[in-house]
Amino acid sequence: MSLIEIADYRLAFDGFEGRVQVLDGIDLAIEAGEAVGIVGETGCGKSVLARSMLRLNPAPPARIVSGQIRYDGADILAMPPDRLRDLRGGTIGMVFQDPVTYLNPVFTIGRQMAEVLRAHEPDLSRAQRRARSIELLDAVRLPDPAGLLDRYPHELSGGMRQRVLIAEALAGNPRVLIADEPTTALDVTIQRQILALIADLVERLGLTLVLISHDLGVIGAVCRRIVVMYAGTVVEDAPAESLFRAPQHPYTRGLLAAMPDLGRPDHMPEGIAGSIPDLRSPPKGCRFHPRCPLATAICSERKPVLDGGPHAVACHAVAAAA
Ligand SMILES: Nc1ncnc2c1ncn2[C@@H]1O[C@H](COP(=O)(O)OP(=O)(O)OP(=O)(O)O)[C@@H](O)[C@H]1O
Ligand SMILES: [Mg+2]
């Protein structure tokens, strides 16, 4: 049994403009101790999938069309509220995309840490909460953690704010850390430091990591397994080394070709022609087929299955060539 098991998971949003079919049959199993990266273009459903692991997509408008999500064997989609609360921020810590909205500008860091701790460990005394806050801020390598408790979010740099949010995600002693674009708003140097911190925490605390980014470089720096999403589907799922050495799916190949090659500054990234589909009326069959250089008739008719682990790929052309 895997620690997290997602099977044939479909989720849609019902809106004024019709139904948006965001996740279309996600299959994903994550083992304890793995560091898994989820990569894909903007709007492909990475954050919706991450929130699904904690049942955090508000329903309505979200509607689960099919499938299952299990944590340690327990069905998250059928979990009673108290167990769900233990999971959220407890067993599974989450660092949300867009750190600014998750720190309240009018409260000190100390007050916000205390509030998070109160939710997890209501019995702690004030002094214990303070000590634990300092310990957590220290764990994310923030200098002068005690002094930091009296500061406001705007007094901190972007990198420091992100560290505070990681500290908050660790407050419930999680087994799993889900980090959604934890470095996107940061400059390259700070980005590296945050990634190094995450890798270090995963190692030290024995965490299972789900790292989400649109940047394969970010994912590749930390994760040993990479899941490539396209328009709400998993198109490739492989060990990182294998994915970088021999990408299979035409979309993954395009993503890799779009990465700047530092060894060859004269090499222009190619990118992928076209743009992501409107998920109100997604393409039939393989959702990538309108942009795919290898597409044949079957691709617009039948959805390809994710096949061939440990390096799994969902592509009719790849399957036909094998
Ligand atoms: N609450 C919501 N109501 C309606 N549609 C939503 C809602 N949340 C997300 N969506 C839609 O779901 C799709 C996937 O969004 P999601 O935020 O998961 O993308 P993403 O891969 O995380 O993108 P990014 O890289 O920009 O963060 C988008 O089309 C988005 O508009
Ligand atoms: Mg997102």
Residue 14 per-residue DSSP state = E
Q: How sure is the predictor about 310, in pLDDT bands with cuts at 50, 70 and 90? A: very high
Q: Give per-residue pLDDT as tens, 90-131.
A: 899 999 887 667 788 999 999 999 999 998 888 999 999 999
DSSP state letters, 193-240:
HHHHHHHHHHHHHT-EEEEEES-HHHHHHH-SEEEEEETTEEEEEEEH
What is the Å distance from ligand 1's center to 234 Cα?
A: 16
Regarding predicted confidence, which is higher, 71 or 259? 71
Q: Is the pLDDT of residue 140 over 90?
A: yes
Q: Is the pLDDT of residue 171 over 90?
A: yes
Closest-lying ligand to the alpha carbon of 214? 1
- Average pLDDT of the chain to the nearest whole number: 92
Ligand 1 atom nearest residue 232's Cα: 14
Q: What is the pLDDT of residue 258?
A: 78
Task: Reduce the DSSP state of residue 309 to 3 states and report it.
Answer: coil
CB 147 within 8 A of CB 177: no
User: Mean per-residue pLDDT for 52-75?
Assistant: 94
Q: What is the pLDDT of residue 97?
A: 85
What is the Å distance from ligand 2's center to 97 Cα?
A: 6
Taking CA atoms only, the protein residue closest to ligand 1 atom 6 is: 13
Q: What is the pLDDT of residue 240?
A: 97
CB 101 within 8 A of CB 185: no
Ligand 1 atom nearest residue 61's Cα: 3
Q: What is the pLDDT of residue 261?
A: 60
